[in-house]
Structure 1
Amino acid sequence: MLRQNQRFLTQLYMLADLLCTLLVFLTAYWIKFESDWLTHVKSIPFSTYLVWGTVYSFSAVLVGFYVQFYSPKRRKNFSYDVLKIIQIQTVSFLGLLSLLYFTNESDVSRQFLLIFFCMNIVAVSAYRYGVKLILSHFRRKGFNKRFVLIIGAGSLGRGFYQNLQQHPDLGYEVAGFLDDYQREHAPDYSHMKPIIGTIDDLQMMLDKGPIDEVIMALPLDAHGKYAQIIDICERSGVKTLIIPDYFDLLPARPYFDNFAGIPLINVRDVPLDELGNRLLKRSFDLLFSLLAIILTSPVMLFIVLGIKLTSPGPVLFKQERMGLDRKSFYMYKFRSMHVSASRVSDTQWTVENDPRRTVFGSFLRRTSLDELPQFFNVLFGQMSVVGPRPERPYFVHQFKEDIPKYMIKHQIRPGITGWAQANGLRGDTSIKERIMHDIFYIENWTFIFDLKIIVKTIVKGLMNKNAY
């Protein structure tokens, strides 16, 4: 029933968003002007606030419709909804402020508007999350199903089927497989839905049963059949999705890009390739590193004195490291070892009970205080607060031959700390595991993820048994 009335559900969502926003308006008005929680002076009547609250509510719905917030999102994560809600509410709020400016409504409480805006994001997100939980519950029970037909019973089709079974909350059910070369599955895959015909039976299957989507999981040599299959599906009003035969060969989750008007498959989705994300991360790096330098300046002064009093030589130790786009730079640390030739420090690992360390240097390395000068590397633009740890060129050239995907880490700025280090992977630990964590970070970067890593590093990562 629900599956056949998506337009009705869309209208219901729009009405629910509108009512939710108006209810939040009344709550925000009560908090600001009727409760004793805040000081208030009403210079304009309630009716004026109601007019602007209604304008805001309708504009939020219109913006949501424009950005396709009300399109089916069965396969989307809830984080997608939250980002859309923040985007919609922000655009609507800025539009409201612009209207207030041009209509000279200077008496409208800015504090009320801020409460209204923040509560809207929380309230709409909360009720949308509740709806998502309810729908997931009913889909697990067998309601609101969408039926899919898989064309191709090879490894691609079987892999898709098995992955789909791990997400019953999505409400998808496989009607069966179509394949020209097999009549039944091998014994190891007998638990799967049966092969119910060949590709020539597609039209009959679409006419016979409630098929909502057709999944094409065909090998490359079946490319000539794509046009016929898509044509049959579109004539029947059935959505068609294609799993590329080379999907298993791609080293990461690919996404479609566009270059000179031609769609391309981008092998690796790097969020920091987007200008807005890079500006956000760089702005945070500058602010955080300046604040860190100011707050730790007494500690750094103590370290300078400690180094000078306990061993001869310079206070700072600089070492060549490979960073963004495989370009080398000098990374700075407080010196924790006796002075030695650069060919030794550049080509040898630090080991437990390393005789090169000074007594005071051992303390610095155990507490990670020797890393503090790297905040200046961040200011210079050579490093980021969070990112893959940079390595010496000597070892980079070794690792890139022995460890697949090692060089991917150089697609973003290296960091003082990273996802690997926050999980204890530093010092004498697996390089392969570190790279796996680095690639996960590169492909899943968000500003919140950076904050999580910083907090986790402070809580768990400063004192580390592997930090020699």
Structure 2
Amino acid sequence: MGGNSLKLRLFLLALLDAGLLNACYVISFLFRFSLDVPFRNVQPYLTLFPWISIFCFVAFYMFDLYSNWKRKSLHHLLYTIFLAVLLVMVLTMSLTYLGKGFSFPRSVILFATFLQMLVLGASRAFLWHLGRKRHGSKKVLVVGTTLESGVSLAEKCMNHSRGWFIIHGFLPAHNRRLLHKKMPEVDVVLVGPSLNREDKAEIISLCIKQGKEVLVVPEMVELLAIESEPQQIDDLLVLSIQPPRLVPGKWLMKRCFDILVSSFMLILLSPVMLVLYVLIKLTSPGPAIFKQERLGEGGRSYLIYKFRSMVADAESRTGPVLATAHDPRITPIGKWMRATRLDEIPQLLNVLKGEMSLVGPRPERPFFIRQFQESIPDYAYRLSVKPGITGLAQVLANYSTKVEDKLRFDILYVKSYSFVLDIKILLQTIRVVLQRGQAAGVSDDNDENKQKLLRLFGYYDRANTANNE
């Protein structure tokens, strides 16, 4: 019943989007011609009306505007609508050229696009605010194994879009029996990933009985169960969990798409590549193209190509280190290239060579992979597919997101791969490029929020300990 209700809401939302988008065309025609609209000008629009409506649905779907936007950022939402409407405009103009519908005034299309950004942005913002009023300002109780893990989880809530979460406190997992006393005070319980299975099951069961929402950070093994197939052995229900890899049919489709798109992009971006090559050579000594060893599918080594964004021999003194938010090794033009991701254009050559894919987990150096595998044994799962220029972690997380948190997105991508998912990630990468904050390096600043949380959680933890005694 709940699934049918959700489908109905999404269907009505799609109708609303298409209706508003086409209404903007009507207003644009009236603005351009007043009430005396020549039929020769409006006739191409009437012919294209079904296609424009389909373009609207496809663009909004590919930009993930029909997913659950509960607790997401309004800024992110408006950015995405802007890009989706632009895509509709490009598809519409392309169809008018192909169909020789030159009597469809370009001024009408451009003004309608401007109106669509305003109207659709306003309608979705209104729905977003209604959602935040209904689901926002939830008091969150964080449950973790240590105070440090609790602070880390609470920081995620505080860094999230404002108005959704209010941190109520922290409860150590060993004091979970006190959870039932705290339930009346909170709306949501956030459970960390390091709790053992028994503790986690007990907390989830209690939250369900009390009618409270529980947010669980999944373990890697739980992510591997996604898309698992229920099977029956005699009278026993089992889940068939396959290794994270692409089946031959999906692999072939992905490879063909990689070759076609990377070839087209290299031709299209060749003037940009030439300009960047010259600028790098003129502004800092050293080669313009930077080559570095990475590990790809199956742990195989290859050389990745990038435009050099740091001073030459940047790690000659420090050894392998991750870039920070204000890294002095980054050149002025390198800072701009990294923010816009233009330094990664030469990786299209790696895609053509078959060493990388357009979409996949980001490639990492052997030095760091060895470190990560020591602390995160499941890290090897991300090497089961080709690394990508962009990926789910790059779209949904930040450059400075912790390795284990990015790994969850990488495993989710491998287990949920589809051709449509790749298209969605590629389109949403445009938004990430425009929203430069996601490209910032690993932060080395002391966050004031952390000190507030330590004070709050320190008191809360002492109070729980005292109650326990």
Q: Provide TM-score, normalisation by structure 1.
A: 0.44
- Greater share of helix: 2
